[in-house]
């Protein structure tokens, strides 16, 4: 007891006085080997492995050498081609023909002049191929009702093992509550039945890792009946006696079960008896954990990942009506050795210090600790103050000879753990491990860490100075014994030369670090969100500012939705990167997304994002459904496709019917863009298909897939004929005609028309006739008498709706009846004195003298005006012959004719008509329409090409209405908030062939609107406009005043001084004149009416751009114009 008490006191004393520390030895310092990797145990050599490699690698200075032991004996590897070693480390490899030869337990030793490190034991297992023994098995004869056990006894092999009971025909033996397989592979029958008799019970063992299945010799079972007269193999004999439970597995009364912490606990009770006993489980003195799992009809209890709380005594009970049987399990949970916290660390100690190595491990049973030094057993040496006290090694007044590799190995029956502890006992002056005059760079405002790694024994005192002054302050942080200097939120003044000084009792060393503080990288003009139609092109601008000393590492990177856009990628062929511009050509929907610009140097980066929205026609609707298919009033519904960022304005429903016009799609119905259903009224007796397409501002999208065919039921006609015409071509006759129903409107077979008519103004009955043609002639009518007519449609299913009567007249011209053969019933004379007055480019006034009533020959119906466009002066050689006409009812002498084309030659005639027809045309009148103004230009785009300039591009107008003379451009500087015009500039472009214009001198940071009109000699057409924001320049981001601002200020002062001088001179001259010219001044102020009359006309012209800049002060939005 006194010895142990003294030892404990010594341990405590050294624990408080030792200067040893855990450390990582830099490679520059001589040191013993350290194992850095080795093959883990065990190694199973599988039969299909060609080779096996055993690794062992260590580092040390000097570089280590290697040796191996096998089963505790030195291993000398044979010098043959099938066994190879690695000269760089201790790894060796051997061919599968040597597997059996290399079976055993190995250790690797890595050594140099300072010590030896070793590995744990590495066991190589070479399994033999699993085989069942060849055996002759007798038939198992058993009485009906008795239990049966068929033993498998599978051979040993590489886990995992799976066991199956099958017949020779590979049919699985059916298992249930009575028949089950145990975890040991045996097949158990709680009681035998005649149907269990068979000669081919086979046990199959499958070793999946080595891909092997082996079969035991089939077993034969014969079950003898208690009642021989009952020959049924399926039923239980009526005389089968009740049998009390017994346990077929396990045997005996109690079983001890030892397993490791973390393993799964399996307790199994398989009973025999009739009826089949029930199994129940309990834990003695405690309740069962809720982690238990019961399988195989409660015969198998499993607790996953056991720990100490799962230890104890468990009991299983097998019970039926004849009794019960029990079995007890003593469950013991043990542990292999494990480090209590962490394995002991390597140590560096000064000469004469106290060194203590403690190896704290846990395990059950308690591990046995073995100490080694350089691979050899290290024993207690009291005389030399080298003590080994169970889990602790103590070295008193350690010297260099105590340096080496100490091994602590803790083991119990369940395994072992081993650690190598490098102990260096030495005195050493500081050794600088960081490169001298290392350069550091940091972005202003960022943090920087400068390194001064030192190795020494004892540890060094480290200090930092800058230009002779000690480095300190709130922004300075030292850590790891001042080996690292961190400066937070760096400033320009932090740049310079820093010196790190390290010293201890053995000497001193220093190094210099150079720090540069750089300007941060910034994106001063970020990309803007863009909306663009598919098929066009667009640009994204990303203007950076960065420290010019980092020019070699600077780059601009673009990403789309997080993926980098590469310059040479095939997928990115439409992406063109020019400096700080990203141009996207032929934009499509796949280009939509978030674009990120990254301006990057080796030290920092800045990012900016913009979203590109692509507008396109809508996708086709999907999932078309028709409801109420038995009716002619159906509801069509659909799910809209994507609108591609432009709201759908309408959906158009089309139909195709297969009888009258197969393959031709026609528009049926339109609904608003916020609807996804349409109510459709359909004609009867047709086969319909429907499809839907969506329309947005970009245009119509593709149609949907057509619906299934829909057959509508036949019905009576839904309407009667329209446009009923009554003419009297001959006296005493009345011709009736109408527009017939379309075939798709028949609604069924047997379509015909009922013609009803009666004379007005007298009592007359309706006369009716059924016809199939769309015309009918009524004969023997009164001359020019009014009649009432009705046309009603019908088919084989019924009549159409009741028609409304119309009024008409029978044949005219009873006075000229004797002239019928000369066909003089139409008007006989044309209008005279036809005159044309051109109102504007598209409208004219036509006038004539009224015709004589006698020449009308009936009721005056009105006048027809005919005009023919002979040619356009834009293409004078092309003969057009475009004919048009308008009918004007009633008696009149002039009309207005619209719809003419500008800059064209026309010919015009007029005639009069009555109900019989048209009279002769007047003499033709030729006239010309003047030039008009062009329509809008179709497109106007802007691109930002320089700091203060914009490139405008446009297309010529599709219709010029005259000779194109050029373009008129206005651009306005706008207030960004109210969008009011601050200043405007106008520019006449006198060449019609120009389609682009560069505008320079625009003030940065301003919003501009550009209006462009195409012009002819008649004037300029309506403008097309676009807006563009001119971003501020890089220089304007900095607050320093520019040279141009200074020049402007000086110029302003000079102008004020000059104006003041002019005002003084004028006042002096006026004073010297006195009142001599007072009358003349009044004449200038109040000119007489006569003089006013001479000057009452004026001419206005749009000012040219150069005139604006000569006559007006320079505007605040523009400086100069670049043509």
Q: From residue 488, give the alpha-carbon distance in Å to each of 204, 512, 554, 905, 927.
A: 72, 20, 24, 85, 89
pLDDT over 60 (residue 109): yes
Percentage of the chain exceeding pLDDT 90: 66
pLDDT band at 572 (very low <50, low <70, confident <90, very high): low
Report pLDDT for 1074: 42
Chain centroid offset of residue 1048 CA: 52
Instruction: Decide which of 551 and 1077 is more confident.
Output: 551
Peptide bond into 250 cis (omega under 30): yes
Residue 286: DSSP 8-state: B
In the predicted model, what is the mean pLDDT of residues 384-397?
Answer: 90
Tell me whether residue 408 is exposed, middle or buried, using C-beta atoms within 10 angstroms of its C-beta: 0 to 12, 13 to 18, 19 or more: buried
pLDDT value, residue 100:
85
pLDDT tens digits, residue range 311-349?
999 999 999 999 999 999 999 999 999 999 899 999 999
CA distance 600 to 592: 24
Q: Is 1089 helix (H, G, I), strand (E, B) or coil?
A: helix
- Count the neighbouring beta carbons within 10 Å of the beta carbon of residue 950: 20
How far CA 220 is from CA of 102, 150, 200, 248, 549, in Å, comes to 43, 10, 6, 20, 92
Q: Say if residue 613's pLDDT is above 80.
A: yes
SS3 1081: helix
Region 274-279: mean pLDDT is 95
User: Taking Cα atoms as reference points, which of 694, 678, 689 lies closest to residue 640?
Assistant: 694
Query: Quick one: which of 618, 614, 588, 587 has its CA closest to 696?
Result: 618
Q: Average pLDDT in the 795-815 region?
A: 80
Taking the C-alpha atoms of residue 529 and residue 592, their distance in angstroms, rounded to an integer, is 11
pLDDT in tens, 734-750: 899 999 999 999 999 99
Helix (H) or strand (E) holding 1079: helix 1078-1085
pLDDT for position 299:
96
Res. 618: pLDDT tops 80: yes
| DSSP 3-state of 510 | strand
Question: For residue 85, what pLDDT is reported?
Answer: 87
Supply the pLDDT for residue 1034.
54
Write down the pLDDT at residue 821. 37
φ, ψ for residue 111, nearest 5 deg: -140, 150
Q: HSE-up of 769 (CA within 13 Å, CB side)?
A: 14
Q: What is the pLDDT of residue 880?
A: 82
* Least confident segment among 601-610, 771-780, 784-793, 1056-1065: 1056-1065
Measured distance CA(255)–CA(656) in Å, rounded: 85
Please tell me the predicted confidence (pLDDT) of residue 1046: 47
Q: Summarize pLDDT for 916-974 with one digit per residue, the tens.
A: 889 999 999 999 999 999 999 999 998 876 778 889 999 999 999 999 999 999 999 98
User: Residue 1053: its pLDDT value, please?
Assistant: 63
Task: Return the pLDDT at 1065.
Answer: 66
Q: Residue 1093: its pLDDT value, please?
A: 36
Structure tokens at 703: 């149609």
**Mean pLDDT of all residues in 716-726:** 92
The reported pLDDT for the residue numbered 357 is 94
Q: Give the model confidence (pLDDT) of 246-256 as tens digits.
A: 999 999 999 99
**Encoding tokens for residue 363?**
């395990």
Model pLDDT, residue 569: 57
Instruction: Give the least confident one: 190-194, 653-657, 991-995, 1118-1122.
Output: 1118-1122
| Helices (H), ranges, 99-219 | none
How many residues are there in the chain? Answer: 1123
Helices (H), 29-70: none
Q: How far is CA 553 from the centre of its chain?
A: 31
Most confident segment among 208-212, 640-644, 1056-1060, 1090-1094: 640-644
Evaluate if residue 820 carries a pLDDT over 60.
Answer: no
pLDDT at 1111: 36
Residue range 831-881, pLDDT digits in tens: 999 999 999 989 999 999 988 887 887 788 899 999 999 889 888 888 887
Three-class DSSP category at 232: coil
Pick from 367-371, 457-461, 623-627, 1052-1056: least confident: 1052-1056
Q: In 706-831, which ranges are E strands? A: 710-711, 722-727, 733-739, 752-759, 767-771, 775-779, 786-795, 798-799, 806-809
DSSP character string of 397-445: T--GGG-EEEEEEEEETTEEEEEEEEEEE--EEEEE-SPTTEEEEEETT
> For 404-445, what is each residue's pLDDT tens digit?
999 999 999 999 999 999 999 999 999 999 999 999 999 999
pLDDT greater at residue 27 or residue 1103: 27
pLDDT at 199: 93
Mean pLDDT to the nearest integer, 1008-1014: 93
Would you state the pLDDT for residue 257? 95
The per-residue pLDDT for 930 is 94
In order of 41, 665, 718, 833, the CA distances from 97 in angstroms are 21, 80, 97, 125
- Of the two residues 375 and 1004, the one the predictor is more confident about is 375
**Torsion sign across C-alpha atoms 479, 484, 489, 491:** positive
Torsion of CA 159, 162, 167, 172, to 10 degrees: -170
Q: Residue 822's pLDDT is what?
A: 38
Q: Are 526 and 1029 in contact (CB under 8 A)?
A: no
Cis preceding linkage at 220, omega within 30: no
Check residue 605 and give its pLDDT: 94
pLDDT category at 659 given cuts 50, 70, 90 is confident
Distance CA 449, CA 515 (A): 10
CB 856 within 8 A of CB 915: no
pLDDT, one tens digit per residue, over 129-175 is 899 999 899 999 999 999 999 999 999 988 899 999 999 888 999 99
Cα–Cα distances in angstroms (integers) from residue 911 to residues 672, 725, 811, 812, in the given order = 46, 21, 22, 20
């Amino acid at each position: 007891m006194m010895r142990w008490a003294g030892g404990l006191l010594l341990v405590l004393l050294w624990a408080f006085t030792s200067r040893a520390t855990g450390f990582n030895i830099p490679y520059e310092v001589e040191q013993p080997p350290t194992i850095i990797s080795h093959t883990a145990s065990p190694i199973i050599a599988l039969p299909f492995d060609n080779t096996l490699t055993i690794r062992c690698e260590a580092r040390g200075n000097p570089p280590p050498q290697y040796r191996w032991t096998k089963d505790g004996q030195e291993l000398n590897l044979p010098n043959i081609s099938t066994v190879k070693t690695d000269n760089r480390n201790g790894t060796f490899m051997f061919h599968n023909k040597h597997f059996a030869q290399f079976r055993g337990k190995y250790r690797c030793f890595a050594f140099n002049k300072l010590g030896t490190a070793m590995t744990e034991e590495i066991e190589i297992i070479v399994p033999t191929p699993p085989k069942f023994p060849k055996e002759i098995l007798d038939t198992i004869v058993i009485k009906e009702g008795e239990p049966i056990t068929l033993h498998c006894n599978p051979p040993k092999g590489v886990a995992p093992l799976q066991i199956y009971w099958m017949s020779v025909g590979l049919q699985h033996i059916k298992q249930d509550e009575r028949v089950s397989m145990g975890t040991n592979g045996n097949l158990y029958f709680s009681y035998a039945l005649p149907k269990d008799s068979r000669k081919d019970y086979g046990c199959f063992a499958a070793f999946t890792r080595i891909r092997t299945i082996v079969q035991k010799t089939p077993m034969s079972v014969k079950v003898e009946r208690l009642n021989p007269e009952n020959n049924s193999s399926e039923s239980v004999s009526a005389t089968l006696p009740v049998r009390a439970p017994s346990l077929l597995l396990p045997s005996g009364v109690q079983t001890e079960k030892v397993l490791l912490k973390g393993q799964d606990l399996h307790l199994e009770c398989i009973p025999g008896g009739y009826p089949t006993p029930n199994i129940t489980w309990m834990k003695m003195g405690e309740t069962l954990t809720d982690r238990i799992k019961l399988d195989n009809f409660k015969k198998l209890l499993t607790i996953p990942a056991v720990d100490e709380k799962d230890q104890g005594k468990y009991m299983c009970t097998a019970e039926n009506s004849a009794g019960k049987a029990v079995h007890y399990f003593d469950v013991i949970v043990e542990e292999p050795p494990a480090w209590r916290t962490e394995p002991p660390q390597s140590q560096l100690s000064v000469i004469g210090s106290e060194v203590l190595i403690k190896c704290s491990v846990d395990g059950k049973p308690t591990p046995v600790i073995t100490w080694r030094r350089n691979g050899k057993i290290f024993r207690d040496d009291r005389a030399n103050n080298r003590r080994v006290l169970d889990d602790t090694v103590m070295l008193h007044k350690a010297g260099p000879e105590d340096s080496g590799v100490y091994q602590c190995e803790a083991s119990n029956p369940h395994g072992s753990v081993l650690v190598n502890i490098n102990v260096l006992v030495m005195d050493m002056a500081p050794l600088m491990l960081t490169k001298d005059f290392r350069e550091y760079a940091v972005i202003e405002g960022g943090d920087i860490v400068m390194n001064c790694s030192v190795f020494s024994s004892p540890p060094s005192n480290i200090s930092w100075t800058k230009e002779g002054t000690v480095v300190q302050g709130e922004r300075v942080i030292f850590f790891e014994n001042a080996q690292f200097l961190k400066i937070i939120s760096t400033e320009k003044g932090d740049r310079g030369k820093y010196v790190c000084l390290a010293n201890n009792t053995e000497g001193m060393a220093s190094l210099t670090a150079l720090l540069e503080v750089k300007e941060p990288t910034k994106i001063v003009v970020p990309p803007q969100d863009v909306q663009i139609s598919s098929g066009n092109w667009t640009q994204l601008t990303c203007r950076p500012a960065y420290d010019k000393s980092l020019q070699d590492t600077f780059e601009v990177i673009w990403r789309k939705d997080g993926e980098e856009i590469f310059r040479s990628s095939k997928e990115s062929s439409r992406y063109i990167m020019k400096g700080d511009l990203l141009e996207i050509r032929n934009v499509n929907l796949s280009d939509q997304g978030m674009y990120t610009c990254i301006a990057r140097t080796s030290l920092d980066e800045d990012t900016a994002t913009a979203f590109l929205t692509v507008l396109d026609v809508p996708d086709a609707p999907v999932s078309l459904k028709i409801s109420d298919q038995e009716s002619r009033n159906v509801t069509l519904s659909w799910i809209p496709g994507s609108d591609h960022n432009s709201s759908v304005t309408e959906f158009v429903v089309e139909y195709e019917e297969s009888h009258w016009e197969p393959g031709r799609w026609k528009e049926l119905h339109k609904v608003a863009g916020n609807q996804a259903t349409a109510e459709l009224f359909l004609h009867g007796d047709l086969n319909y298909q429907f499809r839907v397409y969506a329309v947005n501002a970009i245009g119509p999208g593709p149609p949907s897939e057509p619906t299934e065919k829909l057959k509508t039921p036949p019905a009576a006609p839904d309407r009667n004929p329209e446009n009923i015409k009554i003419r009297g071509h001959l006296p005493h006759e009345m011709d009736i005609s109408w527009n017939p129903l379309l075939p798709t409107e028949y609604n069924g077979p047997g379509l015909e028309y009922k013609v009803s008519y009666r004379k007005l103004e007298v009592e007359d009955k309706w006369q009716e006739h059924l016809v199939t043609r769309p015309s009918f002639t009524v004969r023997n009518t009164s001359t020019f008498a009014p009649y009432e007519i009705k046309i009603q449609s019908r088919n084989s299913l019924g009549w159409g709706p009741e028609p409304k009567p119309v009024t008409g007249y029978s044949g005219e011209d009873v006075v000229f009846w004797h002239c019928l053969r000369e066909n003089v019933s139409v008007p006989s004379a044309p209008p005279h004195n036809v005159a044309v007055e051109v109102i504007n480019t598209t409208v004219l006034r036509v006038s004539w003298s009224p015709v004589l009533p006698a020449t009308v020959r009936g009721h005056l119906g009105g006048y027809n005006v005919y005009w023919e466009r002979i040619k356009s002066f834009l293409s004078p050689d092309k003969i057009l012959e475009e004919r048009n006409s308008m009918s004007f009812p009633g008696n009149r002498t002039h009309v207005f004719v619209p719809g003419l084309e500008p800059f064209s030659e026309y010919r015009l005639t007029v005639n009069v008509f009555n109900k019989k027809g048209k009279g002769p045309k007047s003499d033709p009148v030729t006239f010309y329409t003047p030039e008009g103004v062009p329509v809008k230009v179709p497109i106007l785009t802007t691109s930002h090409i320089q700091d203060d300039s914009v490139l405008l591009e446009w297309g010529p107008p599709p219709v010029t209405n005259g000779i194109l003379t050029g373009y008129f451009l206005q651009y306005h500087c706008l207030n960004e908030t109210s969008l009011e015009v601050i200043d405007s500039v106008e520019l006449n472009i006198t060449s019609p062939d120009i389609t682009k214009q560069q505008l320079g001198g625009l003030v940065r940071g301003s919003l501009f609107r550009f209006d462009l009109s195409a012009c002819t000699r008649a004037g300029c057409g309506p403008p097309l406009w676009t807006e563009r924001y001119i971003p501020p320049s890089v220089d304007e981001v900095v607050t320093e005043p520019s040279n141009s601002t200074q020049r402007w200020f000086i110029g302003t002062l000079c102008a004020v001084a000059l104006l003041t001088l002019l005002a003084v001179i004028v006042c002096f001259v006026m004073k010297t004149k006195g009142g001599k010219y007072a009358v003349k001044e009044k004449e200038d102020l109040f000119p007489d009416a006569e003089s006013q009359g001479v000057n009452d006309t004026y001419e206005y012209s749009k000012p040219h751009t150069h005139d604006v800049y000569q006559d007006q002060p320079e505007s605040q939005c523009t400086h100069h114009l670049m043509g």
